[in-house]
Structure 1
Amino acid sequence: METLDILILGSGPAALCLASELAKQNLNIKGISTKSPYEKWENTYGIWASELEEFGLVSLLSHRWSKTVSYFGDGIKDKGNSPTKHYYDYGLINQEAFQNELLKTCKGIQWLNETAKLIKSKNKISEVICSSGLKLKARLVIDASGHKSKFIKRPFLKEVAQQAAYGIVGKFSAPPVKKDQFVLMDFRSDHLEDEELLKSPSFLYAMDLGSETYFVEETSLASYPSFSQDHLKKRLLSRLNNKGIKVVEIFHEENCLFPMNLPLPYKNQSVLGFGGAASMVHPASGYMIGSLLRRAPLLAKKLAIFLKEPNFSSLELATKGWSVLWPYELIQRHRLYQYGLRRLMSFDESRLRCFFSNFFKLSTEEWVGFLTNTLPLPKLIYVMSKMFINSPLKVKLGMLKIK
């Protein structure tokens, strides 16, 4: 039985982002997944255009908006119809083009339609036993199969906060957003009863896709327990009905549910993670694609160097990989984001709207850097301190855990 350099679990964006970089390192690599890497990805992926420009991949956007806004006003008293303008381009990734671009650079990597059942470390090598009975050996196993991974060990967390969303791509009786507009967050809530407002807030994420087609999605930032898809669907339809808008035709329904506050994995384990399995979802925004693109190249180069040492065991290789993926700087930034998320989860709708209204008064460089996790640690501390100082009293009290 051959011993691979690396065996990758998964075939989604995380797996392909890393595999495409590892493929440049002249390593013996295979992948296994329950889904073919050529099977179309279901969910949509939005991203700030500058993140793709950084890698020369802006051509992979299917849509790009310069008219980017949010609504944080009081949904009952003034209807909140005065938008907060972001003056920063947002894009929708062409999933098929993005997937094909990654597959092109993954040339030479064979993917097997298998499911990993058990991973054993023996004689410095990892052996993956599949449900079919197939056994594969590799010096290093990388789990990029998503946050539900059963092979990545991390501290137990009883209350896992999840971002949930229900969306529709389709045609409507009237435009749900203005022409050529992208709405990042619409917290207007005049379609809800007072009792409903006491529950966890949710907002509309929406975009004009052209040709009288729109994408509208009701989103819960993060909550425990999470919103059900049925409840979010009910809220979305209620929001549209309140504006006299009916759904005429549905092209695609989107259901999203993923954890926002997973603890970082233990570094001392023989399987390395990447993507959701490695807690790489941004705790403050829920985004991950930009982080995958930024962090995959360095990890791939470092792993190629580590693999040149023939005596390194799977445990040693994985431990070194974890240290590259989660250095001190990123760990501390992650902790700050996690703290902020815990506080925001305790905010009622009014306090949450107030927080975001104030957040987007930061400079563009500051709020974009915060949402993309690209601010160096000292700058992040400065921005969070500045945000606190400039916040209204009720937000300050909320951040200090004072009701």
Structure 2
Amino acid sequence: MPSKRLPDVLVLGAGPAGMAIASALGKEKLEVEVLSPNGPDEPWPNTYGIWGKEVDQLGLQDLLEYRWKNTVSFFGHGSLEEHHYENKATEHSLDYGLFDKKKLHRYWLNECNKSLIKWHEGFAEKITFQKHKSTVITSNGKTYSARLVVDATGYDPVFLKLKSCGPLAVQTCYGIVGSFSKPPLKKGQFVLMDYRNDHLNEEQKKEPPTFLYAMDMGNGKYFLEETSLGLVNPLTMEDLKERLEKRLSYRNISITSMQHEELGLFLPMNMPIPDFKQQVLGYGGAASMVHPASGYLIGNVLRRAPLVAKAISTAMNDKKLSTYHIARKGWESLWPKELIRKKSIYQFGLEKLMRFDEKLLREFFGSFFKLPKTQWYGFLTDTLSLREIVYAMCIMFIRAPWSVKKGLMIMHGKELRMLLRIVLPNI
């Protein structure tokens, strides 16, 4: 009796990253299987925002649930007077969208099913390697083998080994979806960042700053989220909730009904790049693909999947190539030297932002969003080349106020290594 044919790839995880890479591998005519704890039909818990230009280029604009043209930020103090409140807006003049996560999930599930991808349920617990085969053992003793395993299990990966980088910086948030006694923002408006802090007392103003991320969802429903940038010692959910309540109270706004409470998102911002000398390939958050400075991930995950899948498919055409060498080809595609250098710039930026106080942070973002739209958008979405990023940052530095220049120039230790990695990406 002939032995069962070994699948080409086993993907761990059925979230957006797992389904995106599985689908892309399937389109390369590879035999793909997916192992996840809850199976492919389990709803995704998180929401995913994306800039309109990004989603248009991906051709997925029909999967958006909301799209805003009036996108703004606030970096001044503001006041209760409506005209002063509006005059403080920094207009971004760029659409922003929110995916309908059910549609997005269904789209990728359908794409995977077109390639006849097989689904398995279970918790991956152990992995063993042979020269041309990797075998995953689940918590209930079942085994699944393939030429290559791709770990797409998120920010706490099951098998991937990460390089040491010290404590992780975590972005936290507390949000609500509901109705209010009066509109908390202008009709049809999306607020990327509202850093005004008049509602805080003097002691709170000395604490790490937070901003409001907010959107009008129509029919009197709004989403408001108090957010803290990446911090090694993040603010608690209680702190963020109190700040959001104070922000509303300051403007004489009360919550009339709450439809959903976002109890907190803990997003690691400075995850190190994985060790490339391992026989498992990573993808998505597990492979440190989150943007260290902006926290964006979904656009990058969707854009990069076909490129990585192509590299894996090409490597697998050589039947003599070992699992280790196939994984190395995948890593080289996922993290070429230019992207490692770009990540060092982003990590440098995050390290600086974590050290800025509220006033300096507002001045920094005020300068950043005065850059041409193509430059700040490209920086946030990781779509600029290394040369374009360096040029944009030089322009910003020249135009920034002295306080921002000084804040960027003072080195505290880790920043020097990040800058050195731009020249020597393999250190």
Question: What TM-score, normalized by structure 2, do the two folds share?
Answer: 0.91
Contact 1:2 1:137 (8 Å CA) reproduced: no
Report the Cα offset of residue 36 of structure 1. Answer: 2.5
Q: Which residue number corresponds to residue 229 of structure 2? A: 221
Q: Counterpart of 1:163 in 2: which secondary structure?
A: strand
Q: Which residue number corresponds to residue 377 of structure 2? A: 368
Q: Counterpart of 1:120 in 2: which secondary structure?
A: strand
Whole-Å Cα distance in 2 between the matches of residues 5 and 233 of structure 1?
Answer: 47
Report the Cα offset of residue 330 of structure 1. Answer: 0.7
Match of 1:150 among 158, 177, 198: 158
Q: Which residue number corresponds to residue 104 of structure 1? A: 110
Q: Which residue number corresponds to residue 291 of structure 1? A: 300
Whole-Å Cα distance in 2 between the matches of residues 41 and 253 of structure 1?
Answer: 16
Identity of aligned residues (%): 46
Q: Which residue number corresponds to residue 19 of structure 1? A: 22
Contact 2:131 2:323 (8 Å CA) reproduced: no
| Equivalent runs, 1:167-246 vs 2, <5 Å | 167-246=175-254
Cα distance per residue 1:208-265 (max 9 Å; x no partner): 0001001110111111111222221221112112212122222222221111001111
| Equivalent runs, 1:4-403 vs 2, <5 Å | 4-74=7-77, 81=86, 82-107=88-113, 108-254=116-262, 255-401=264-410
Report the Cα offset of residue 2 of structure 1. Answer: 4.8
Letter in 1 for 2:23: S
Report the Cα offset of residue 75 of structure 1. Answer: 5.3
Whole-Å Cα distance in 1 between the matches of residues 121 and 181 of structure 2?
Answer: 43
Q: Counterpart of 1:38 in 2: which secondary structure?
A: coil
Letter in 1 for 2:30: L
Q: Counterpart of 1:3 in 2: which secondary structure?
A: coil
Report the Cα offset of residue 305 of structure 1. Answer: 1.2
Letter in 2 for 1:35: N
Whole-Å Cα distance in 1 between the matches of residues 411 and 27 of structure 2?
Answer: 52
Contact 1:3 1:136 (8 Å CA) reproduced: no
Letter in 1 for 2:154: G
Contact 2:10 2:150 (8 Å CA) reproduced: yes
Letter in 1 for 2:287: A
Whole-Å Cα distance in 2 between the matches of residues 342 and 147 of structure 1?
Answer: 19
Cα distance per residue 1:362-397 (max 9 Å; x no partner): 001111111111111111100011111111111111
The 1:75/1:194 distance shift into structure 2, 3 A limit, reads farther
Report the Cα offset of residue 319 of structure 1. Answer: 1.1
The 1:178/1:80 distance shift into structure 2, 3 A limit, reads closer
Whole-Å Cα distance in 1 between the matches of residues 179 and 365 of structure 2?
Answer: 30
Whole-Å Cα distance in 1 between the matches of residues 269 and 26 of structure 2?
Answer: 30
Contact 2:74 2:193 (8 Å CA) reproduced: yes
Alpha carbon RMSD of aligned pairs, Å?
1.6
Whole-Å Cα distance in 2 between the matches of residues 34 and 17 of structure 1?
Answer: 17
Whole-Å Cα distance in 2 between the matches of residues 344 and 215 of structure 1?
Answer: 25
Cα distance per residue 1:63-91 (max 9 Å; x no partner): 11111110001358997651011111111
Contact 1:154 1:263 (8 Å CA) reproduced: yes
Which consecutive residues of structure 1, in runs of 5 or more, have no partner in the other structure? none
Question: What TM-score, normalized by structure 1, do the two folds share?
Answer: 0.97
Moved more, 91-100 or 116-125: 116-125
Contact 2:131 2:324 (8 Å CA) reproduced: no
Whole-Å Cα distance in 1 between the matches of residues 11 and 176 of structure 2?
Answer: 33
Which consecutive residues of structure 2, in runs of 5 or more, have no partner in the other structure? 413-427
Report the Cα offset of residue 157 of structure 1. Answer: 2.7
Report the Cα offset of residue 25 of structure 1. Answer: 1.7
Report the Cα offset of residue 158 of structure 1. Answer: 2.5
Contact 2:177 2:259 (8 Å CA) reproduced: yes
Contact 1:17 1:102 (8 Å CA) reproduced: yes
Contact 1:73 1:80 (8 Å CA) reproduced: no
Letter in 1 for 2:222: Y
Whole-Å Cα distance in 2 between the matches of residues 249 and 41 of structure 1?
Answer: 25
Q: Counterpart of 1:63 in 2: which secondary structure?
A: strand
Letter in 1 for 2:282: G
Moved more, 130-139 or 35-44: 35-44
Whole-Å Cα distance in 2 between the matches of residues 2 and 364 of structure 1?
Answer: 51
Whole-Å Cα distance in 2 between the matches of residues 42 and 253 of structure 1?
Answer: 13
Whole-Å Cα distance in 2 between the matches of residues 230 and 280 of structure 1?
Answer: 29
Report the Cα offset of residue 176 of structure 1. Answer: 1.2
Contact 1:76 1:189 (8 Å CA) reproduced: no
Q: Counterpart of 1:53 in 2: which secondary structure?
A: helix
